[in-house]
Chains A and B, each alone.
Chain A
Amino acid sequence: MRLSIYRYNPEKDEKPYLQDYEVALEPSDRMLLDAMVKAKAQDDTLAFRRSCREGVCGSDAFNINGKNRLACVTKIAELPEHVTIRPLPGLPVIRDLIVDMTQFFKQYHSVMPYVVNPEPAPERERLQSPEEREHLNGLYECILCACCSTACPSFWWNPDKFVGPAGLLQAYRFIADSRDRATSARLDNLEDPYRLFRCHSIMNCVDVCPKNLNPTKAINHIKELLVRRAV
């Protein structure tokens, strides 16, 4: 298998380049991450993030043959023999495949990503019906890998002003939670030409999400709530 991997070391490279690695696969190598670990065994200067290797921690999101994906759940068998791996687009590159995610997390933090409920907490759990809980499915599973936001043209142009699909998915996760009491503050926080309304339903986010989540749908729910509030 041939991997062409984006390389850039700020200490010695004037500009980035692609480096080729020939990797001899063994039967136990199923996922692209396995092949990347083999490439790193050849050349320890190759830098990338990885951890759980099962698609739940969100560390190893890269642009793989033009599409943002997690290397650990991308099957080698489903890829061509030659694979090009680049860092997630639109974020500053620190080194090789490692990007600076500060802006991405800043946007996530900006949506008050926690349940707000000023009522005194009961002695036991707050009650929530299975139907109410069902509303959180498709939202809480986000792993913050940034595949979606870094596939979004609106996020590329305005990463400091547009919350982006990942952040907005989480904004809706808390609006949708029957235990939360801050919907109105949450909507105020998003009622802005940039923060929410830069989403033009291009739906790249839906296309790339490794957890099959649908940020566009969540964003549309928020837009609807704003419209309903206005009338």
Chain B
Amino acid sequence: MMPVRRFDALVVGAGGSGMRAALELARANLKVAVLSKVFPTRSHTVAAQGGIAAPLANSTEDNWHWHMYDTVKGSDYLGDQDAIEYMCRRAVEVVVELEHMGMPFDRLENGKIYQRPFGGHTQDYGSPKMAMRACAAADRTGHAMLHTLYQQNVRSNTQFFVEWMALDLVRDPQDGAVVGITALEMETGEIALFQAKAILLATGGGGRIYWATTNAFINTGDGLGMVARAGLPLEDMEFWQFHPTGVAGAGVLITEGVRGEGGYLLNKNGERFMERYAPNAKDLASRDVVSRAMTTEIKEGRGCGPDGDHVLLKLDHLGPEVIMQRLPGIREISIKFANADPIRDPVPVVPTVHYQMGGIPTNYLGQVVAPEGAGKEAIVPGLYAAGECACVSVHGANRLGTNSLLDLLVFGKASGEQMIKDIRAQPAPHRALPKDAGENSRQRLSRLDSAKGGERVVDVLNDLRRTMQAHCGVFRFPDDLASGVSKIKEIAERVQRTFIQDRSKVFNTARVEALELENLVETAMSTMISAEARKESRGAQARADFPERDDANWMKHTLWYKEGNRLDYKPVHLRPMSVQSFEPKVRTY
């Protein structure tokens, strides 16, 4: 029998949402454990740059209604309007709290938080006037926020299990409630059962399924794999955001804040081409719009460089002072990864996979929901999700820049609050673990440990990433999608035959990578199947054969199940909590 550790609440993942939730739980004097594959400040929230959205109105007039409108429009009307209203209404509260915790925001002359413009954020319901809504700590907002949240958790004595990798959910066969998880301690190679009354998945995205990605090595969709293997669906996985400005060839992110500060994109003719694609917002149109425009420029022969394979991001006109003060990290990255000092030279950039809009279906309280009987959104008792791994859905088919950090704080906090309520409503003793708890994890590990030969993890992984890159990109073509589906199915077979040389227990990173591949393949499969099935273009899904949005047939969320690659759909929540619905309109910037 595996050792069992028992807590009131468990948080899996120590990025922005996990640590915000942990703080809420720790302050409620509950027994909380936070598991993380990496030391908390190594989590990928650390790489967020440009800002966190909140209508503080420190520099331009602003309010949550306008923010809500922008977010609904940005989502291409696939976002759930109740959840979007909830997020925008709590934005000021959670950002002010973060400031009180010690977040080193940049400041205006009057001492208030500095805010910059960002793509798709406007005043007065989409007017040509941009809203300055992105609260920034230079171009290191994610770093500053993650460290601040970690520091507050140190203060609250949160118990961290560092370098523990969560493996599988444990469900009660009676009612499907989630009652625990299994996890691997990397330093010893031991697996243990963690039992809790409420379990939050805050495991981040799975952007490593693509060849060119801004995502860290650790972004392997672990929570998605756990949920898929446990028989629960994944929502809207076809929607992946390509960030317009990844450093060409390196994938490293250059914040949209560069364009917020006044930078712009040029093709090989030196033309500011966004003026043709988005006459009002230009370079500050939504990310899906800018990424498509860039891809079109490159495809039509107006790309830069000897191979015409990128465009240029010009910011030297901002002057050294603005660059050094507001964009110092970008300068560092450009010099290191592009050999270009932006004070003088433009930076070569290409659209690069950045963010997963889909994920584990939840409501705005962080509770995981799944179809059951006649209902499409029955609560899965005991299980919660927040942050990039979750699909609330506030980002719909396309996320606005700076809404991701906001999502982490609002839904991290909301999940924590809901978990406290649900834990207190439960009887004191924990539910019994099923007899076979942990058996699936044990089998996964014993297959790896006993394999006498097979496929190298790195080969399968590289094939998976190349397939996703080639078959499910900025523009999607029917033949590519169909052949992509069969290729990923073949790769999924190969994942079952992986082989590692390393058989030691202590810090066996080969084993960790093999287990991560099992999560990546679920992420990739759900993406490919969902994308192939959605016969329309909306937000980040742009199909050559169905170039228009089709609200009559496709204004609905995709639900993918691992078993048999079954698809189901559920309606978008068009009704907000307190205001009028924003009706779908043609989306122009």
Contact = CB atoms under 8 A, between A and B. Distances in A.
Interface of A: 9-12, 28, 30, 40-41, 43-45, 47-59, 73, 75, 94-96, 98, 101, 105, 109, 112-115, 117, 121, 123-130, 132-133, 136, 140-141, 143-144, 174, 177, 179-180
B161 to A, nearest CB: 13
Contacts of B10: none
Given A45-B510, A51-B218, A59-B42, A128 B107 contact: yes
Contact of A141 (B140, B253, B507): B140
Contacts of A128: 107, 111
A65 to B, nearest CB: 18
A57 B41 contact: yes
Interface stretch (B121-129, B346-354, B395-403, B498-506): B498-506
B457 to A, nearest CB: 7
B42 A58 contact: yes
A54 B107 contact: no
A56 B47 contact: yes
A114 B250 contact: no
Contacts of A30: 250, 337
A136 B104 contact: yes
Contacts of B513: 44
Nearest to A98: B507
Contacts of A56: 46-47, 140, 143, 329
B137 to A, nearest CB: 8
B249 interface: yes
B107 A12 contact: no
A50 B110 CA distance: 41
A130 B152 CA distance: 24
Interface stretch (B80-88, B94-102, B355-363): B94-102
Contacts of B506: 9-11, 94-95
B96 A124 contact: yes
A105 B217 CA distance: 23
Contacts of A117: 100
B337 A125 contact: no
B113 interface: yes
Give 7 nearest A-B pairs by CB, closest first.
Answer: A127-B111, A115-B102, A44-B510, A114-B151, A45-B502, A125-B99, A57-B42
B562 interface: no
Majority secondary structure, A binding face: loop
B147 interface: yes
Contacts, number: 150
Contact of B104 (A45, A49, A133): A133
A44 B500 contact: yes
A133 B137 CA distance: 10
A231 B329 CA distance: 41
A138 to B, nearest CB: 11
Contact of A57 (B46, B111, B152): B46
Contacts of A41: 456, 458
Nearest to B501: A44
Contact of B216 (A28, A52, A73): A52
B333 interface: yes
B143 A141 contact: yes
Interface residues of B, number: 60
A51 B510 CA distance: 15
Nearest to A112: B155
Interface in B438-493: 456-458
B548 interface: no
A130 B109 contact: yes
B322 interface: no
Given A114-B154, A128-B107, 18 more contacts: A9-B504, A40-B509, A45-B502, A47-B507, A53-B216, A54-B337, A55-B332, A55-B336, A57-B43, A59-B39, A59-B42, A114-B152, A115-B101, A124-B96, A130-B109, A140-B144, A143-B46, A177-B104
A54 B38 CA distance: 16
B112 interface: yes
B107 A129 contact: yes
Contact of A114 (B96, B101, B143, B509): B101
B141 to A, nearest CB: 11
Contacts of A136: 104
A146 to B, nearest CB: 10
Contacts of B502: 44-45
A179 B510 contact: no
Contacts of B457: 44
22 contacts: A9-B506, A28-B249, A30-B337, A44-B501, A45-B501, A51-B216, A52-B46, A52-B216, A53-B216, A57-B38, A57-B42, A75-B336, A95-B504, A95-B506, A101-B39, A114-B151, A115-B101, A124-B56, A124-B96, A140-B137, A144-B39, A174-B102
Contacts of B217: 50-53
A58 B20 CA distance: 21
B105 interface: yes
A45 B509 CA distance: 8
Given A59-B38, A130-B108, A114 B500 contact: no
Interface string B331-343: 0110011000000
Contacts of A101: 39
Contacts of A174: 102
Chain B CB within 10 Å — which of A40, A47, A96 has the most? A47
Contacts of A133: 104-107
Contacts of B456: 41, 44
Contacts of A43: 501
Given A11-B505, A114-B151, A125 B112 contact: yes
Given A45-B510, A52-B216, A56-B47, A130 B151 contact: no
A194 B112 CA distance: 39
Interface in B13-42: 38-39, 41-42
A141 B41 CA distance: 12
B99 A47 contact: no
